[in-house]
Amino acid sequence: MAKSKSVEFKKGDVFIGQGTVYKVAKIEKRENMAGESVDYLIYEPFFKTSRTKTLKCSMPVGNIDMTNKRDLVSKEELKKLLATVEEVSEKYESPLPSDITEVINGSPLERRLDVLKAMWLEKKDPDTKLSISKIGSFKKIFQQSSQEIAAVMGKPLEYAEELLEKKLFKALPENYQVKK
């Protein structure tokens, strides 16, 4: 087990970093440039893809407090958040590019789902056309949110993606025509 000022880590722990779910692979001691022994957190993506199947990241445990790494939400909190996602919304505010960037770079799930829902409503609004970059951002935020949902629920990623999409469809006002 390794401990930063605010967090303890052990092999198998799961956390969020930069909007991605990671799992602690191991903690190893390394010597720094001053010759001191330092604990390093070695972590890897929780959901591996063909592009990330061999990816491993490392960080001195003492530096973790300087990052935006955080724990997953609880199952109870997730249930509340998913209930707010499916509430029908007649109006939405298009998220600012700065809000979208902030969310992609690792905001709490609550904030991420708020922005995702606003982007979903904008995407499905019959009077609006999303830019290519906004569609790409939507997909990234959807993927990040699905990863955290799947990890918290202990379900496959595909299950979480389908669940989130169903919740988002429920949020559409009746006057919206469903468009892809």
- Are the C-beta atoms of residues 41 and 24 closer than 8 Å to each other? yes
pLDDT tens figures, 164-176: 999 999 988 876 6
The full set of domains in the chain, from first to last, is: 2-66 (2.30.30), 75-170 (1.20.58)
CA dist 138 → 59, 89, 132 (Å): 29, 18, 10
Please tell me the predicted confidence (pLDDT) of residue 178: 56
Residue 43, beta-bridge partner list: 24, 57
The pair of structure tokens assigned to 45 is: 């993506």
Lowest mean pLDDT among 1-10, 42-51, 135-144: 1-10
Nearest CA among 68, 75, 52 for reference residue 153: 75
pLDDT(64) > 90: no
At residue 33 the predicted structure's pLDDT band, cuts being 50, 70 and 90, is: confident
Please tell me the predicted confidence (pLDDT) of residue 129: 86
- Are the C-beta atoms of residues 103 and 20 closer than 8 Å to each other? no
pLDDT(62) > 60: yes
The pair of structure tokens assigned to 74 is: 């609880």
SS3 percent helix, strand, coil of the chain, rounded to 5, is 45, 20, 40
pLDDT(100) > 80: yes
**Alpha carbon distance 73, 16 (integer Å):** 10
Orientation angle between helical segments 75-85 and 157-170, nearest 10 degrees = 40
The pair of structure tokens assigned to 53 is: 């199947």
Lowest mean pLDDT among 50-54, 121-125, 176-180: 176-180
Q: Which residues contact 129 (CB under 8 A, 6 or more apart)?
A: none
Please tell me the predicted confidence (pLDDT) of residue 113: 95
User: Once rounded to an integer, what is the mean pLDDT over residues 65-92?
Assistant: 90
pLDDT(14) > 80: yes
